[in-house]
């Protein structure tokens, strides 16, 4: 497999374009779904999107470990030139079986506690209890589907096979919005909406399973001697122990980080009526759509970070720097626009009454998403280079502080307090991740962070300008200044050349 900078760039843009259209589709369809379902039901739907996405943590870090193992094996084979001898079935499929068992057990537990979650934990109106409980039970069946889908995508990306992975991810993105929009023409019932969300993920699961079997076929059933069977089980146990050790710290990060990302909405759902949750979840949904950019970059660089040998640290440094630059380059424009014109855009999207209660929350959340996005590259580097204990320990330190702050501030300040705490966790963890990443690569992380903070500060200051003409002039002036700085001092000659030829390269990728 090719881990060159050229392939990295190509895969980033292939993956990015496959996810852009579903985001714009969501922006168009969310107001329509909101009007048809009403605040209470839309609040539950937004919570369902959150829950079904959160199911991916139930792999306990094994999906990312699988990606790492497969990438490393492919990298070793590439160096040795013995590609015909690559056989990962005895390692991959037993781990998949373990993940299946774990996810089925957790799905069963979720089904058992469903009544308590709906009736006692979340602040859902009694009229919606039965409908919400049945919808939640349907979502529980998606636990093994979502868990294994993440694992299969990781395996395919280790093989640099991004086309199928991206197509299936785009299908999920379409389904999240198109299916509810179609269903609300006939009924406002949440049961049909959640059923469709699960079916779409089942279809994606089947396609990805078929593709993984192409690369890593199952062993054919055949009679083995007792000694061969014993050797196989010994090897499997040793591989599993190795995987669990490797995945231990990754598991900690993969559990704590999503919990930190979703805990705000869970606590808000406990303290506030579910219809008021919409004033937080709607801007959160818009803001976190920006995560598709770092997700695209990290999905591409994760196999590269793991597959590059220690003898080629120059290539590792190139991939790291390029990953950071692409995150900033691709996110800078959307983030700047959304922060500066948050109120105006929210008003156009969902109306002035809704916007007045949520635009400041949206600005704060967008800042948090941006900080988390640029932190994802050093976070992933440390995991891929066998230093997963560092981001995990950072997560462990921040988790109780974050939880206590949410419990204290949400009852007093509601959604605004939640957004401030949510963003603050990324502001504090970002410099630590950059500091420890210097153990693996050479990079001027202080300069990079300074530029980020100045960028955010200017955007936030411009948003308070009340005269639209002055705001527009200031926006374009600052935008041109940032573009000049980034072009002149941020990119090197080869990267500037790539951007100049971006259109022709992009269309060449699409044709292929």
Question: What HEC string does 52-116 produce?
Answer: HHHHHHHHCCHHHHHHHHHHHHHHHHHHHCCHHHCCCHHHHHHHHHHHHHHHHHHHHHHHHHHHH
Alpha-carbon span 446 to 450, nearest angstrom: 6
CA distances to 73, 93, 120, 207, 367 from 77, in Å: 6, 20, 54, 27, 42
Q: Which residues of 37-50 are buried (b: 16+ CB within 10 A; e: fewer)?
A: bebbbbbbbbbbbb
Alpha-carbon span 191 to 199, nearest angstrom: 12
DSSP 252-296: HHHHHHHHHHHHHHHHHHHHS-HHHHHHHHHHHHHHHGGGHHHHH
Residue 8 has pLDDT above 60, yes or no: no
> Per-residue confidence at 220, pLDDT binned at 50, 70, 90?
low
Cα Rg of the chain (Å, integer): 23
Q: How many CA atoms lie within 13 A of 109 on its CB side?
A: 10
What backbone torsions phi and psi does residue 490 show, to the nearest 5 degrees?
A: -100, -45
User: Do residues 33 and 181 touch, judged by C-beta distance below 8 A?
Assistant: yes
User: Do residues 275 and 39 touch, judged by C-beta distance below 8 A?
Assistant: yes
What angle in degrees, to the nearest 10, is found between the helix axes of 313-340 and 445-462? 10
What angle in degrees, to the nearest 10, is found between the helix axes of 342-350 and 352-384? 120
SS3 187: coil
154-166 pLDDT, tens per residue? 888 777 776 777 7
> Per-residue confidence at 366, pLDDT binned at 50, 70, 90?
very high
What is the model's pLDDT at position 330?
80
Alpha-carbon span 512 to 508, nearest angstrom: 6
Alpha-carbon span 293 to 382, nearest angstrom: 20
> Per-residue confidence at 203, pLDDT binned at 50, 70, 90?
very high
416-464 pLDDT, tens per residue? 998 999 999 889 989 898 888 887 777 777 877 888 888 899 998 999 8
Of 314 and 128, the structure prediction assigns the larger pLDDT to 128
The chain-wide mean pLDDT, for the chain, equals 78
Please name the residue that has the structure tokens 């990438």: 71
What is the model's pLDDT at position 487?
79
What backbone torsions phi and psi does residue 166 show, to the nearest 5 degrees?
A: -70, -40
> DSSP code of 488?
I
- Most confident option among 288-302, 314-328, 367-381: 367-381
Alpha-carbon span 421 to 489, nearest angstrom: 33
What is the model's pLDDT at position 130?
85
Residues 6+ apart with CB under 8 A from 73: 86, 88
What is the model's pLDDT at position 420?
92
Token couple for 119: 């009736």
Alpha-carbon span 483 to 498, nearest angstrom: 16
Residue 509 has pLDDT above 50, yes or no: no
Neighbours of 345 (CB within 10 A): 17
243-258 pLDDT, tens per residue? 555 556 666 666 676 6
> Per-residue confidence at 43, pLDDT binned at 50, 70, 90?
confident
Alpha-carbon span 502 to 421, nearest angstrom: 38
> Per-residue confidence at 512, pLDDT binned at 50, 70, 90?
very low
> Stretch 165-194: mean pLDDT, rounded?
84
Alpha-carbon span 371 to 339, nearest angstrom: 13
What is the model's pLDDT at position 253?
67
Residue 73 has pLDDT above 80, yes or no: no
Residue 82 has pLDDT above 80, yes or no: no
């Amino acid at each position: 497999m090719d881990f060159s900078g050229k392939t990295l760039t190509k895969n980033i843009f292939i993956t990015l374009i496959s996810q852009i259209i579903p985001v714009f589709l969501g922006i168009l369809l969310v107001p329509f779904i909101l009007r048809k379902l009403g605040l209470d039901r839309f609040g539950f739907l937004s919570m369902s999107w959150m829950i079904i996405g959160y199911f991916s943590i139930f792999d306990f870090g094994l999906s990312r470990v699988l990606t790492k193992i497969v990438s490393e094996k492919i990298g070793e084979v590439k160096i040795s030139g013995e590609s015909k001898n690559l056989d990962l079935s005895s390692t991959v499929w037993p781990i998949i079986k373990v993940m299946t068992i774990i996810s089925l057990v957790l799905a069963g537990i979720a089904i058992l506690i469903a009544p308590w979650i709906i009736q006692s934990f979340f602040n859902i109106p009694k009229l919606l209890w039965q409908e919400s409980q049945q919808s939640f039970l349907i979502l529980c069946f998606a636990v093994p589907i979502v868990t294994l889908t993440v694992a299969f995508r990781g395996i395919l990306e280790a093989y640099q096979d991004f086309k199928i992975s991206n197509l299936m991810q785009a299908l999920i993105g379409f389904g999240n919005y198109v299916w509810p929009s179609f269903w609300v023409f006939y009924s406002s019932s949440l049961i049909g909406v959640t059923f469709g969300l699960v079916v779409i993920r089942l279809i994606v699961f089947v396609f990805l399973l078929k593709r993984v079997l192409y690369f890593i076929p199952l062993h054919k059933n055949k009679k083995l001697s007792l000694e061969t069977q014993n050797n196989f089980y010994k090897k499997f146990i040793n591989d599993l122990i190795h995987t669990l050790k490797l995945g231990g710290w990754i598991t900690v990060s993969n559990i704590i980080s999503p919990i930190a990302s979703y805990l705000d909405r869970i606590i808000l759902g406990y303290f506030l009526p579910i219809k008021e949750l919409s004033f937080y979840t709607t801007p959160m949904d818009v803001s976190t759509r920006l995560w598709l950019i770092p997700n695209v970059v990290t999905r591409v660089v994760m196999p590269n970070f793991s597959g590059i040998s220690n003898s080629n640290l120059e290539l590792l440094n190139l991939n790291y720097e390029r990953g950071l630059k692409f995150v900033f380059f691709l996110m800078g424009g959307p983030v700047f626009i959304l922060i500066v014109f948050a109120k105006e855009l929210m008003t156009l999207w969902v109306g002035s009454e809704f916007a007045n209660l949520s635009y400041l929350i949206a600005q704060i959340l967008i800042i948090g998403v941006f900080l988390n996005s640029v932190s994802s590259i050093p976070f992933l580097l440390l995991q891929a280079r066998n230093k997963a204990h560092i981001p995990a320990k950072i997560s462990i330190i921040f988790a109780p502080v974050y939880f206590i702050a949410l419990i204290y501030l949400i009852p007093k300040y509601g959604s605004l307090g939640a957004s401030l705490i949510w963003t603050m966790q990324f502001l504090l963890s970002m410099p630590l991740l950059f500091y420890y990443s210097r153990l693996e690569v050479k990079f001027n992380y202080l300069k990079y962070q300074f530029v980020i903070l100045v960028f955010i500060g200017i955007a936030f200051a411009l948003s308070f300008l009340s005269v639209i003409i002055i705001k527009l002039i200031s926006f374009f002036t600052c935008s041109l200044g940032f573009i000049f700085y980034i072009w002149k001092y941020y990119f090197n000659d080869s990267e500037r050349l790539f951007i100049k030829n971006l259109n022709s390269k992009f269309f060449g990728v699409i044709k292929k």
